Amino acid sequence: MTDDELTPIARARLKQGWSKAEVCRRLRDARLKRGIRPPTPASLKRMYVEWERGTTQVTDWRDEFCEVFQLTTAELGFVELMPDPLTSAAVDPLELRSISHDLVLLLEAQTDHYRQLDRQLGAALIPQTSAHTQTMADLLQQSLPGTGRPALARALAEAAALAGWQSLDSGNPREAWRMHELAKSAAREGEDPAVLAHVSAQQAYALLDSGREADAAQLAEHSRRTAGSKVPPRLRAWLCAAEAEFRAAVGDTPGTQRLLDEAADLMPGGDADPELPFLFLNSAHLARWRGNCLARLGSLEAVHDLSSALAGIPEGTFARAEAGLRVDLAQALLTRGDLAEAAQHIARAEQLATQTGSARQRTRIAQLRGRL
């Protein structure tokens, strides 16, 4: 490949004589200096390959790139030349379009595809999911009023929430919060109380992972009360279970138990509902949630619930969820004093967390290893 065929990032790296691994190490250090937890080395390596190839645009890492290479955004190819405002009307007319129902269906299908891959690959999908979300956000900004625009807004909300959850799992609660703000804004325009309730409550996990458990519980409660009976029973059960987790994190045993009981009462049969494509919740997942809450509260009952939940997860289908479940189970076993079995679950959870790039679960695993 000639120098002219290289991207500006590739030319900058080669000029310094650095390997891709060295650039990734420097980028991680630059991000840590800003007080932001970077993704896992494996995830960042995959992201960097896409950036250097030019297949994915650098967005929220631009400051780190400029610091590492000591170059401007323009020198790194991050800045596009703006047209002359006097002639822009002729060369760059305002482009607006009507949004068709078929287009929204295609975008939703792509989101669902990423959602299914996310269960196995986790943070490795962040570049693709982020690009997909940005494409939809751009489309919404350029769309004309009509029946297609609210549908597109609802689809964007679901995609942004998925991207936000992946950011959270990769150890970046700040980006997770930002993506959920985008999701909430889109859900409001789409006038869908179910989507709005889901993304609002899910945003509370960014607070939980930032050590703000009480704020997380308050946000989840607000989301649940605002939704009321306007959303389907499966989502109402999910909202109760999510709030129960945050209540457990602050040690509210009565509140946790009340919400778990309410979730169980609301829970319908089956795994999913057509009107809730973003939500997969069945009795096994609810048992896992109950076990998670009991483990946080130090209850010995957690082992039974978590073991039942683990048996209900089909092997090889929910790698990230299984990692979290095994961490919960290991925590409960340690509370019971069963160190040997806890160590087995920790080892398997670590394999799954590495597979999915889950910095969130690896942090929990490191904390548990200190108790062995």
Q: Is the dihedral of CA 291, 292, 293, 296 positive or negative?
A: positive
What is the distance of C-alpha 82 from the center of its chain? 33
State the Cα–Cα distance between residues 6 and 14, nearest whole angstrom: 10
Q: Which residues, in sequence order, are bridge partners of residue 97?
A: 143
pTM (2 decimals)? 0.69
Q: Provide the greatest CA pair distance for the chain.
A: 74
Query: What local confidence, expressed as pLDDT, does residue 287 receive?
Result: 85
pLDDT band at residue 87 using 50, 70 and 90 as cut-offs: very low
Phi, psi of 143, rounded to the nearest 5 degrees: -100, 150
State the Cα–Cα distance between residues 10 and 349, nearest whole angstrom: 36
Query: What local confidence, expressed as pLDDT, does residue 222 receive?
Result: 97
> Could you report the per-residue pLDDT of 334-365, keeping only the tens digit for each?
888 889 999 999 999 888 888 887 888 888 88
State the Cα–Cα distance between residues 63 and 327, nearest whole angstrom: 35
**Do the Cβ atoms of 332 and 371 come closer than 8 Å?**
no
The amino acid at 36: I
Query: What local confidence, expressed as pLDDT, does residue 91 receive?
Result: 47
What is the pLDDT averaged over residues 60-64?
Answer: 87
Task: State what percent of residues in the chain have pLDDT above 90.
Answer: 48
> Could you report the per-residue pLDDT of 201-259, keeping only the tens digit for each?
999 999 999 999 999 999 999 999 999 999 999 999 999 999 999 999 999 999 999 99
Q: Where are the beta strands (DSSP E) in 185-280?
A: none
Q: Which residues, in sequence order, are bridge partners of residue 298?
A: none
Hey, what are 309's tokens?
């939940």
Hey, what are 308's tokens?
């039942």
Task: State what percent of residues in the chain have pLDDT above 70.
Answer: 94
pLDDT band at residue 81 using 50, 70 and 90 as cut-offs: very low
Q: 96: left (phi > 0), else alpha (psi -120 to 50), else beta?
A: beta
Number of CB atoms found within 10 A of residue 45's CB = 14
Q: Is the dihedral of CA 75, 78, 79, 80 positive or negative?
A: positive
In terms of Cβ atoms closer than 10 Å to its own Cβ (0-12, 13-18, 19+), residue 129 is: buried
